[in-house]
Structure 1
Amino acid sequence: MATPLTADRLLAALRAEGVTVVEHPGWRTHDRNGHGAWGPVTGVMIHHTVSSGTASSVEMCFNGYPGLPGPLCHGVIAKDGTVHLLSAGRANHAGGGDPSVLKAVAGETYGDRPPVPRAHQGSPGAADGNSRFYGFECVNLGNGTDPWPTAQLDAIECVSAALCRAHGWGAKSVIGHLEWSDWKSDPKGFGMPGMRARVQARLNKAPAKPAPGAGKPPAPRLHPFPGTSFFRAETSSPVITAMGRRLVAEGCSAYAVGPGPRWSEADRRSYAKWQRKLGFRGSDADGVPGAVSWNALKVPYTR
């Protein structure tokens, strides 16, 4: 077991392994550390999202849903192999699992597969997986037929190897959710023994030196200012959600519930906080976006 990586070290480890990383706004401080231990860590757990689409899957995993608040993982692995970082702390991804599996993973003492799990969230004696594992959700419907593109499988291998290399673990520290809890079936569509073989083969080699500029995230595409008239009660758009998430990341939230797609009074009050943070006063801080404050907010492009 090991001390969890800091946000900076986590990011550096992934980039050193050649992973293409997108840093989600606020990911460094978005965690569940106030609701349980984070560490010592034992390994890496792979999941599937039971969803489609990168943007919606990332949003779901960042915010969570009723009964299970986010973050739901440390990163989302998209079908194109891009890894969207959502947390550097405790995340709601593993839940309760079998203590015998935890022991086998910590000691890397098992053969092809860990012991068959016989515990789950809420069962007597279940171990807290959220405190012991890094978790990565992979965008996939989880129905056994949704494809796993080569780029996505390569990214799973690279992410797993990056964390194992950073902690001095072998590939047996990488498991699927179905190997942790007898309630779970993810990831579905590829086998974890084969993935562990890929990870170990990668660990047996020195990490490839990235080409100049490789591993750096591309400059984010920002949404242009849509005009003042866009912000009215009848407007419902993912642009409003993206704006709200940026306001939250900037510490300007007036939301009782997370940002949504329909323009609301909570959006206006949150945006007014942003305007005041920029130094606007009076009618210039009325909460209605203008071009200058919008461009300073750097809202990610959303289709």
Structure 2
Amino acid sequence: MSWSGDPVWLADVLRAAGLRVIEHDGWRDRGHGDFRDLRGVLCHHTAGGGSQDWRIVQYGRPDLEGPLAQLVLERDGTFRVIAAGVCWHAGRGSWPGWPTDNANYHVIGIEAVSRGDGSDWTPAQLDAYKRGCAAILARIGRTAEDCVAHREYSREGKIDPAGIEMDSFRRDVQAFIDGEEAPMSAAEVNQIREFVTAFCGPISADVKDIREQLCGEAQRDIGQYGGWPQLGNHTVVDALADVIARLERLEKREHPLP
């Protein structure tokens, strides 16, 4: 059964998912009235991209009174908890199972800090976005089918969150709901590879040899990779295993079983 009432548990649920959280003063009492039943999460971008984007979400703009979303997701993956009550973020639109033109009273809004051109998402932010959505949906008894882009819901020409392919996003969110680790995208794998190469340099023959020294007898005994001379021609793994075995034998001698 879906949760009814205000999500006063937001900060706790996000932290339990391993996410960094900043609680803004008074967030539990901030909002435009109380929720009815909660049916999902609506994903946005701020279209600013700066460190102060949260101020507009909390305090509003000249044409729309804040708060404008319950959560702000910073570029480093930190969630700001702005409000527990209803926020003005959904506008007019529809999604299966949600009230037409009235989603504000039924869905939690996440405003992710971004310029809005789809080019500046960080890996930490995208990972937190998925994990945060999953944690909220699991708490309210919903699946990733109720994790929706503003552009998918809106009939007012919204484009947010730009640059995020929602079918793939939902698959990853569902994996987290199911207790699985969502696979990294090809772009994320490439970013990690580029970082390692930049930090460590190209994987040289020396590094390769050291790595294989750690693999034990199976590779040493094919005649290509001998052990370390200072370890009696054992690999590092072999040497550690020998030390542990000796310690276990010593322990048994000093403390024999009755």
Q: TM-score range by the shorter chain?
A: 0.5 to 0.7
For 1:14, the aligned partner's letter is: L
Tell me by how many angstroms 1:2 deviates. 3.1
Supply the distance in 2 between the matched residues of 1:169 and 1:126 (Cα, whole angstroms).
18
- The reply to whether residue 84 of structure 1 matches residue 77 of structure 2 is no
Q: Tell me the equivalent position of 2:16.
A: 16
Q: Percent identity?
A: 34
3-state SS of paired residue (2:171): helix
Supply the distance in 1 between the matched residues of 2:63 and 2:35 (Cα, whole angstroms).
20
3-state SS of paired residue (1:76): strand
- The reply to whether residue 42 of structure 1 matches residue 39 of structure 2 is yes
Tell me by how many angstroms 1:126 deviates. 4.3
Q: Tell me the equivalent position of 2:122.
A: 149
Of residues 76, 94, 104 in structure 2, which corresponds to 1:130? 104
Supply the distance in 2 between the matched residues of 1:44 and 1:205 (Cα, whole angstroms).
19
State the superposition RMSD in angstroms: 1.8
1:176-212 per-residue CA deviation (whole Å, 9 max, x = no partner) reads 10011122110001111111011111111179xxxxx
Q: Tell me the equivalent position of 2:140.
A: 167
Supply the distance in 2 between the matched residues of 1:20 and 1:161 (Cα, whole angstroms).
15
Q: Tell me the equivalent position of 2:150.
A: 177
**Alignment CA distance shift 1:155-1:176 (3 Å):** same
Supply the distance in 2 between the matched residues of 1:5 and 1:52 (Cα, whole angstroms).
28
Supply the distance in 2 between the matched residues of 1:206 and 1:39 (Cα, whole angstroms).
30
**Alignment CA distance shift 1:6-1:48 (3 Å):** closer
Supply the distance in 2 between the matched residues of 1:102 and 1:32 (Cα, whole angstroms).
24
Q: Tell me the equivalent position of 1:51.
A: 48
Kindly tell me the number of residue pairs found equivalent between the two proteins: 179
- The reply to whether residue 205 of structure 1 matches residue 179 of structure 2 is yes
3-state SS of paired residue (1:97): coil
Q: Tell me the equivalent position of 1:3.
A: 4
Supply the distance in 2 between the matched residues of 1:136 and 1:4 (Cα, whole angstroms).
18
Supply the distance in 1 between the matched residues of 2:77 and 2:65 (Cα, whole angstroms).
25
For 2:80, the aligned partner's letter is: H
1:196-240 per-residue CA deviation (whole Å, 9 max, x = no partner) reads 011111111179xxxxxxxxxxxxxxxxxxxxxxxxxxxxxxxxx
Tell me by how many angstroms 1:6 deviates. 3.7
Q: Tell me the equivalent position of 1:109.
A: none
Q: Tell me the equivalent position of 1:26.
A: 26
1:14-60 per-residue CA deviation (whole Å, 9 max, x = no partner) reads 11111110011221111111xxx522111000000010212x10111
Tell me by how many angstroms 1:4 deviates. 3.7
For 1:24, the aligned partner's letter is: H
Of residues 52, 59, 63 in structure 1, which corresponds to 2:59? 63
1:99-138 per-residue CA deviation (whole Å, 9 max, x = no partner) reads xx142xx6xxxxxxxxxxxxxxxxxx94211111100000
Supply the distance in 1 between the matched residues of 2:147 and 2:5 (Cα, whole angstroms).
15
CA contact (8 A) 2:10 2:81 kept: no
For 2:165, the aligned partner's letter is: G
Supply the distance in 2 between the matched residues of 1:177 and 1:68 (Cα, whole angstroms).
17
Tell me by how many angstroms 1:159 deviates. 0.9
Q: Tell me the equivalent position of 1:139.
A: 113
Tell me by how many angstroms 1:5 deviates. 4.8
Q: Tell me the equivalent position of 1:258.
A: none
3-state SS of paired residue (2:72): strand
For 1:167, the aligned partner's letter is: I
Structure 1 residue runs without a partner (length 5+): 107-124, 208-303
Q: Which runs of 4+ in 1 moved over 2 A?
A: none
